[in-house]
Amino acid sequence: MFRQLVAAVVFATSVEADVPLPPQVTNPLSATEAWNVIRLATENVERLVRESRPLEIASQVSLLSPSLRVLGRSPVKAGFEARVADESAVAFKLVNVMAKESMTENAAAMPGLLGQLKKSIGSIAEAFESDITTAEVFHCPLHTDYLLTTRDGATQKCGRCQHKLQVRRIPYSFIYARAEQPALSMATSRQGAQLTIKLAHKDGRPVVTEDLWPVHTETVQVVVFGPEYGHFTATPSASAGDYTCDLAVSAPGTYRYFVGLTPAVTGLPEYHSETFVIDGSAEASSSESTDVLTAKVDGYAVNIAVAGKSGNRLRAGRTQALHVQFQDAQGQPLVRLEPLLQAYAHIDAFYEGTETLQQLHPMGGDILRDDLRGGPGLAFKIYSPEAGTLKAYLRFKVDGRVLVAPLCLQVLP
């Protein structure tokens, strides 16, 4: 028998970002598309500088180079040709320097370099009309090569399938992003094990699936932590804006669930959190105070290790790498990991006592063919926003079965 413990929905202020690049960011086909990338990527660099995350700046400034090349081939106002050529050379040099300093985590150099880059970009912008440098780009969620550059794209539909177009956004981090303000409102209710999620825009309109970005095939997901762990996909119900899923956990005790989604209007994941209890005699839970880096599941061994310059320990406020190794029951490297939601493994983790959720996926992009196999090693990137105990659950699939390995990592100050 379920009994609600906390009724208020809490917006989780820190969320994991693992969303793909929107279409044609790395291959803009017009000056308008190029300026859209430059504006969005530069704003992202500014935010990474504010958050002192230099290692991630390289991935954002690298998006500027293709766009700068497009501008160099585009028509400009009369008399500005030489300026565009000169300032583009300066901007390219600054992009390369920033990428180099990013890889050495030189945070102190970034504000000055960013200031110079913005000045150079501003000088190039004077060679173009403002409607080109400030236009939004819209795309179809189903036909990603269908782009529209217009100021009223939000009211337009795809010319092929009539789906509502989405505004193009570039996540400021492909590892971990903080949604400063939720773009959508959410209300949840439970009837037994069934969870109903009501999503609405700020103006009250219901949120349909076309308003959300699918992340590893899921538009609305629910992750449950407690005496049992569960990861579930919520599906649309008959009522617009409503999504449902069954919280298939049964052991007595206190649970916290996170509802996660990525609004297309921001491209930043949002998580909402609530707690509930299942009545009954619950076993005493133990809080880990040390790392648990190895687990065995149905004979398969999983080992996770922290790599980098921080003494092989996770540190708050740092972007680091996690390496995971898999072995079979005979102790041999496991090389038949199957795709699970377009990845060979998924990590759901939360900080004990907080509403902070981490979700990690292997580096290398989505796995789009079911016949491919992976292993024995996978690499993840992680940004730890705070110190504390990170309870982690690693999901992987072998021989058609989804297995879960419980792990625990200490994040040091």
pLDDT tens for 10-36 read 333 334 445 567 778 999 999 999 999
CATH class of domain segment(s) 294-412:
mainly beta
Instruction: Name the DSSP letter for residue 9.
Output: -
Output 106 or 352, whichever has higher pLDDT. Answer: 106
Whether 280 has a pLDDT exceeding 70, the answer reads yes
CATH number of 31-135, picked from 1.25.40, 3.40.50, 1.20.120, 1.10.3470? 1.20.120
Predicted pLDDT of residue 142? 74
CATH code for the structural domain at 2-16+176-278: 2.60.40
For the chain, the structural domain boundaries read 2-16+176-278, 31-135, 294-412
Same fold flag, 31-135 and 294-412:
no
Strands of 146-267 (E only): list them: 147-149, 166-167, 176-177, 184-191, 194-201, 221-225, 230-233, 235-236, 242-246, 253-261
Query: If you search the block for the tokens 């190039």, which residue do you land on?
Result: 124
Strands of 114-220 (E only): list them: 137-139, 147-149, 166-167, 176-177, 184-191, 194-201
Residues in the chain: 413
At residue 167 the predicted structure's pLDDT band, cuts being 50, 70 and 90, is confident
CA 193 – CA 321 distance, rounded (Å): 37
Q: How far is CA 140 from the centre of its chain?
A: 20
Predicted pLDDT of residue 282? 67
pLDDT tens digits for range 101-127? 999 999 999 999 999 999 999 999 999
144: left (phi over 0), alpha (psi -120 to 50) or beta: alpha
Whether 365 has a pLDDT exceeding 90, the answer reads no
Q: How far is CA 261 from the centre of its chain?
A: 10
Q: Which of 30, 52, 223 is nearest to 128 (CA)?
A: 30
Whether 180 has a pLDDT exceeding 90, the answer reads no
Q: Half-sphere exposure of 113 toward its Cβ, with a 13 Å CA cutoff?
A: 23
pTM here? 0.84
Of 164-168, 170-174, 382-386, the one with minimum mean pLDDT is 164-168
In a 10 Å sphere around its CB, with 0-12 CB exposed, 13-18 middle and 19+ buried, how is residue 107 labelled? middle
At residue 7 the predicted structure's pLDDT band, cuts being 50, 70 and 90, is very low
At residue 1 the predicted structure's pLDDT band, cuts being 50, 70 and 90, is very low
Is 88 in a helix, a strand, or coil?
A: helix
| Residue 160 tokens, joined | 């092929």
Predicted pLDDT of residue 165? 84
Average pLDDT, the chain: 89
- Are 217 and 341 spatial neighbours (Cβ–Cβ below 8 Å)? yes
Q: Which of 165, 131, 121, 144 is nearest to 32 (CA)?
A: 131
Q: How far is CA 213 from the centre of its chain?
A: 11
Backbone angles phi, psi at 316, to 5 degrees: -65, 140
Backbone angles phi, psi at 65, to 5 degrees: -60, -50
Output 295 or 266, whichever has higher pLDDT. Answer: 295
Query: If you search the block for the tokens 């921001």, which residue do you land on?
Result: 266
CA 204 – CA 93 distance, rounded (Å): 47
Cis bond upstream, residue 376 (ω within 30)? yes
| Residue 292 tokens, joined | 């648990």
